[in-house]
Amino acid sequence: MKLDSMYQEIILDHYRNPHGKGLRDGDAEVHHVNPTCGDEITLRVRLDGAVVADVSYESQGCSISQASASVLNDLVVGKPVGEAQQIQEAFLELMQSKGQSDGDEDLLEDAVAFAGVSKYPARVKCALLSWMAWKDATAKALAAHPA
Partner 1 sequence: MTNLTLPGLLDTDAIRKDFPVLQRLLHDDRPLVYLDNAATSQKPRQVLDVLAAYYEQHNANVHRGVHVLAEEATALYEGARDKVAAFVNAPSRDEVIFTKNASESLNLVANMLGWADEPYRVDADSEIVITEMEHHSNIVPWQLLSQRTGAKLKWFGLTDEGRLDLSNIDELITEKTKVVSFTLVSNLLGTVNPVETIVRRAQDVGALVVIDASQAAPHMVLDVQALEADFVAFTGHKMLAPTGIGVLWGRQELLEDLPPFLGGGEMIETVTMGSSTYAPAPHKFEAGTPPIAQAVGLGAAIDYLSDIGMAEIAAHEHAITEYAVNRLQEVPDLRIIGPNTAVDRGAAISFVLGDIHPHDVGQVLDEQGIAVRVGHHCARPVCLRYGIPATTRASFYLYSTPGEVDALIDGLHHVRNFFG
Binding residues for partner 1, rule: CB under 8 A, are 1-3, 6-7, 12, 36-40, 60-64, 120, 123, 126
Burial profile 88-120: b = 16 or more Cβ within 10 angstroms, e = fewer: bebbbebbeeeeeeebeeebbebbbbbbbbbeb
Q: Which is nearer to partner 1, 8 or 85 (CB)?
A: 8
Residue 36 Cβ vs partner 1, minimum distance, rounded to whole Å: 7
Min CB(21)–partner 1 separation in Å: 14
CB count within 10 Å of CB 41 equals 23
Is 61 or 103 the residue whose CB approaches partner 1 more closely?
61
From residue 116, alpha-carbon distances to 15, 35, 50, 74 in Å are: 16, 23, 33, 20
In the complex with partner 1, the residue whose CB is nearer, 12 or 50, is 12
**Minimum distance, C-beta of residue 65 to partner 1, in the bound complex (Å):** 8
